[in-house]
Amino acid sequence: MPFILGQPIKKRYESLTKMRAKSLYIMNDEEFLQKHLFVADPKQGAMRLDKFLTDRIYKITRSRVQTAIKAGLVFVNGSDWVKANYKVRPGDRIEFMMPKAYDESVGIVPDDIPLDIHYEDEHLMVVYKPAGMVVHPGIGNYRRTLVNALAFYFQDKKLPVMPGNPENRPGLVHRIDKNTSGLILVGKTEQAIFGLAKQFQDHSIHRRYQAIVWGEPEEDEGTIKNWVGRHPRFRTKMTVLDSEKHAKWAVTHFKVLERLYYVSLIECRLETGRTHQIRVHMSNAGHPLFNDYKYGGDRVVKGTIFSKYKQFVENCFKIMPRHALHAKELGFVHPATGKDMLFETELPKQMTDCLAKWRTYVADRKAKLTL
C-alpha cells in the first residue's frame, strides 16, 4: 500500500517536532513515486537524516530510507547530494520520493505470455523482447514482464539470481529499456550466470543496436566517450556529467548506415552498458533518437516547421510510437562450451515502416529540387 496523507507521523514524535507534510503522486510510464515534503521545526535538534525520515513516515524501514538516499530520491534544500548521516537542521526543507514497494512476499506471478526464443540449451537462452514489455517486475509493473513470462515457461524450475541483483530478476544478466526492442540473454544455471556476468564486466559482450536519429552526424563513424549519471534535477533521466563523482564512464561506437537529411539510420556498438547510454549520447551529440520523449526526440528537431512537414512528422510518430532503438545483435562466449555465439534479429516493422516513409519523403523532395 502506498503511504497515505495523515499517516506518516508516528505518535511518539508528535510532541517533539512540528512539521508540515503533504503527499502527491507522480506517475509516468516507468515509475510510480510518492512525494513527502517536510520542513523541520525551528527548534529541531540535531538528528541523522535517515532517522528523521524513518521516524516520520508510516511503516518504512531505515534501510529502505538509506537506499532512497543513495538513489538520489531525497532532497535537502534542493540538493540530492546528501548522505544518510546528514544532520537535519532547523528550517531544512526535505523532499522524499519513495517508489511503491515491490512486495517480494508475493513472489513472481507466472504469466502465460509466448516467448520468442532464438536459442536455448541447458545453460542459457536468447529471447526477443518486443517494445512495450518491461524486463522485470518493479515499480508500477508487477505483471506481464519478461520475468513473469519466464516464470510461466519454466514452471517449477527456479532460475538463479546474479549476485547483487534483487530476487525479482532471476536469470537476468542485463536489461534493455521498456520501449527498446531486441535480444535479451537469460542464464539458466549458476555457471552461466557467473560466466556471462564476467563477460559483461569485462566489456567483452558484443552488443550492436540500430537506431533512427534526428539529423545527420557530421562523421560517418566515431566514438562518444564521457561520464553518464543520474540527472541532478530529473531523476528518471540520465545525463552527461563533468566527472566520475556521480557518474560512470560510458563508451559508444557509432556508424551512419543511411542518411535521409532529416533523419539517419545509425548503428551503435556498446563498449559499456550504462542506463539509457545510447539515448543520452546521441541526444548530447545533437541527434536525439526519433520520438524519444525523454531526451527531446518527440518534437521536430530537423527541418522547417510548416503545416505539411509537421503533419508528416506527426504521422511518422504514429507509425513509430516509441523511441526508435533496436537491440539487433548479441554475441558472447558460451560459458559452458567456450564457443563463440552470435545472434541477430531484423528491425521491427515499426522501424522499417518509419524508414520507408522518410525515404519516400526525401526522394520526393530531391525530385522537386531537380525540376
Residues 216 and 327 in one domain: yes
Residues 169 and 268 in one domain: no
Residues 233 and 366 in one domain: yes
* Per-residue pLDDT at 300: 93
Task: Kindly state the cell numbers that stand for 218.
Answer: 557530421
Residue 90 lies in a domain: yes
Residue 2 lies in a domain: no
What pTM, to 2 d.p., does this model score? 0.73
Residues 175 and 216 in one domain: no
Amino acid at 92: D
What Å distances lie between residue 49 and 16, 46, 54, 160, CA to CA? 16, 9, 9, 36
* pLDDT of 2 above 90: no
* Per-residue pLDDT at 106: 56
Residues 123 and 64 in one domain: no
* Per-residue pLDDT at 110: 93
CATH code, domain carrying 327: 3.30.2350.10
Residues 60-71 have a mean pLDDT of: 81
Last residue of one domain, picked from the residues 72, 99, 126? 99
Closest to 339 measured CA to CA, from 66, 46, 121: 121
Residues 170 and 224 in one domain: no
| Residues 18-30 as b or e (16 or more Cβ within 10 Å = b) | ebebebeeeeeee
Last residue of one domain, picked from the residues 202, 230, 265? 202
* Per-residue pLDDT at 3: 30
Residues 194 and 287 in one domain: no
Residues 338-359 have a mean pLDDT of: 97
Residues 178 and 290 in one domain: no
Residue 5 lies in a domain: no
Q: Up-side HSE of residue 197: CA atoms within 13 Å toward CB?
A: 17
Residue 4 lies in a domain: no
Distance CA 247, CA 120 (A): 36
Residue 3 lies in a domain: no
* pLDDT of 44 above 80: yes
* Per-residue pLDDT at 30: 35
Residues 99-119 have a mean pLDDT of: 77
What are all long-range contacts of 52-55, with beta carbons under 8 Å and residues at least 24 apart? 52/88, 52/94, 53/94, 53/96, 55/10, 55/13
- Domain with 210, as residue range(s), is 205-371
Residue 300 lies in a domain: yes
The answer to whether 177 is a known catalytic residue is yes
CATH code, domain carrying 54: 3.10.290.10
Contact 126, 207 (CB under 8 A): no
Residues 77 and 93 in one domain: yes
Residue 248 lies in a domain: yes
DSSP states of 161-229 as a string? Answer: --TTS-TT-TTBS----TT-EEEEEEE-SHHHHHHHHHHHHTT-SEEEEEEEEES--SSSEEEEEEEEE
* pLDDT of 21 above 60: no
Residues 220 and 241 in one domain: yes
What pLDDT, in 10s, does the model give residues 160-171?
988 778 888 899
Amino acid at 80: D
What pLDDT, in 10s, does the model give residues 327-344?
999 999 999 999 999 999
User: Would strands 181-187 and 325-333 be described as parallel, antiparallel, or unpaired?
Assistant: parallel
* Per-residue pLDDT at 43: 81
Look at the chain and report how many structural domains it folds into. Answer: 3
* pLDDT of 34 above 80: no
Residues 226 and 337 in one domain: yes
* Per-residue pLDDT at 96: 86
Amino acid at 358: W
Catalytically annotated residue among 177, 202, 292, 298 = 177
* Per-residue pLDDT at 17: 30
Q: What is the mean pLDDT of the chain?
A: 85
Last residue of one domain, picked from the residues 148, 175, 202? 202
* pLDDT of 58 above 90: no
Residue 6 lies in a domain: no
Residues 46 and 69 in one domain: yes
